[in-house]
């Protein structure tokens, strides 16, 4: 998720139980232009064992050359082709969900990426461009024929964006017909959501996205639930402690001014649902230094101590 899943966020996710992490969306064209902004997205935490580089591309040539370029700089666990991002700035350049309109192009891009590396290629797709063009079976098969090792389906259309509800029946259909592993995404906000998706669709795994923002604890909670242990409620003190840890990681990678701006949205998510957090959020969105964050957290903790 652009603007969220940077190296600091992913480090926290790993510490809280995530098994595999992906970079933010990287432009294949950007790598060919030697864009510093693009290459900065390739930062990797020493704690990220299974680490995928997620790219978007509109042509097989750019995708293949991007893989080669990236491999000259880093060695990921896998490459992921994003065919689901609905963001206009991605779609307008023919990448992300725009590829859903042309399964044959998905095939050619995956095939070219596959020929450029021996690492696994995974592919993210959506159900289709809109309700009149539900073609996830076709796009998934194109990815398979191109050499993909895994397909992840977010069962919404591009037109839906993140609105409405994801249709998990699409995921169940795909899992029952595809010969490679199928992962699911979409509307996974609680550990019970994850278990329900896996039980009802029989998918091989899940990718948690928005559900981890401000709640990286969901990964360990899912694992506990899978082992039959009811997930424990995360106390306010732990939420705030992890948020501050997240802040310090962000400062070490981005520098204090930028990190403090970026962390405002994260802090708002970390304290969502905590009693008295509205006033805290109103203050934290103006925090500009590490010292201010720590002081506001201390004041909030003391004024709402149990």
> How high is the pLDDT of residue 305?
62
What CATH number corresponds to the domain at position 296?
1.10.1200.80
Residues 273 and 185 in one domain: no
Number of domains present in the structure of the chain: 2
CA gap 24, 31 in Å, rounded? 14
Position 74 in a domain: yes
> How high is the pLDDT of residue 232?
82
Residues 132 and 255 in one domain: no
What CATH number corresponds to the domain at position 117?
3.20.20.70
Residues 74 and 109 in one domain: yes
> How high is the pLDDT of residue 2?
81
Position 136 in a domain: yes
Reference 4, options 220, 245, 246, 252; nearest CA is 246
Exposed / middle / buried, residue 9 (Cβ in 10 Å: 0-12, 13-18, 19+): buried
> How high is the pLDDT of residue 214?
95
Helical packing angle, 191-201 and 168-177, nearest 10°: 50
For residue 245, the enclosing domain spans 236-303
Position 184 in a domain: yes
User: Which of these three, 198, 226, 254, is where a domain ends?
Assistant: 226
Residues 170 and 137 in one domain: yes
* Residues paired with residue 123 on neighbouring β-strands, in sequence order: 81, 151
CA gap 242, 262 in Å, rounded? 16
Residues 170 and 256 in one domain: no
pLDDT tens, residue order, the chain (306 aa): 888 899 999 999 999 999 999 999 999 999 999 888 888 899 999 999 999 999 999 999 999 999 999 999 999 999 999 999 998 999 999 999 999 999 999 999 999 999 999 999 999 999 999 999 999 999 999 999 999 999 999 999 998 888 888 999 999 999 999 999 999 999 999 999 999 999 999 999 999 999 999 999 999 999 999 999 888 889 999 999 999 999 999 999 999 999 999 999 999 999 998 888 999 999 999 999 999 999 999 999 887 665
Position 83 in a domain: yes
Enzyme catalytic residues: 85
Residues 98 and 116 in one domain: yes
The whole model's pTM is what? 0.92
And the tokens for 19?
């098994």
> How high is the pLDDT of residue 291?
96
CA gap 212, 303 in Å, rounded? 27
> How high is the pLDDT of residue 264?
96
> How high is the pLDDT of residue 38?
87
Residues 94 and 168 in one domain: yes
Check: CB of residue 82 under 8 Å from CB of residue 158: no
């Amino acid at each position: 998720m652009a603007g969220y899943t940077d190296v600091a966020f992913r480090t926290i996710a790993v510490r809280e139980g995530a098994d595999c992490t992906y970079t933010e969306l990287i432009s294949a064209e950007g790598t060919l232009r030697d864009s510093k902004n693009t290459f900065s997205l390739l930062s990797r935490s020493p704690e990220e064992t299974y680490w995928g580089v997620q790219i978007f591309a509109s042509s097989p040539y750019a995708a293949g050359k991007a893989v080669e370029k990236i491999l000259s700089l880093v060695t990921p666990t896998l490459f992921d082709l994003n065919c689901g991002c609905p963001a206009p700035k991605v779609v307008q350049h023919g990448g992300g969900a725009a590829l859903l309109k042309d399964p044959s192009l998905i095939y050619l891009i995956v095939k070219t990426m596959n020929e450029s590396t021996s690492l696994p290629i995974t592919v993210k797709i959506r159900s289709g461009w809109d309700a009149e063009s539900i073609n996830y079976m076709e796009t998934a098969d194109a990815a398979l024929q191109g050499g993909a090792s895994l397909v992840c389906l977010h069962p919404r259309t591009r037109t839906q964006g993140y609105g409405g509800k994801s249709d998990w029946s699409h995921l169940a259909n795909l899992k029952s017909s595809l010969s490679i592993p199928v992962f699911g995404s979409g509307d996974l906000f609680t550990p019970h959501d994850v278990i329900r998706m896996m039980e009802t669709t029989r998918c091989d795994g899940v990718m948690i996205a928005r559900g981890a923002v401000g709640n990286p604890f969901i990964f360990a909670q899912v694992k506990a639930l899978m082992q039959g242990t009811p997930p424990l409620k995360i106390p306010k003190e732990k939420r705030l402690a992890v948020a501050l840890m997240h802040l310090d990681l962000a400062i070490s990678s981005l520098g204090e001014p930028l990190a403090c701006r970026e962390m405002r949205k994260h802090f708002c998510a970390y304290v969502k649902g905590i009693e008295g957090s509205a006033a805290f959020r109103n203050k934290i969105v103006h925090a500009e230094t590490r010292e201010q964050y720590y002081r506001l957290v201390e004041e909030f903790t003391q004024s709402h101590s149990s």
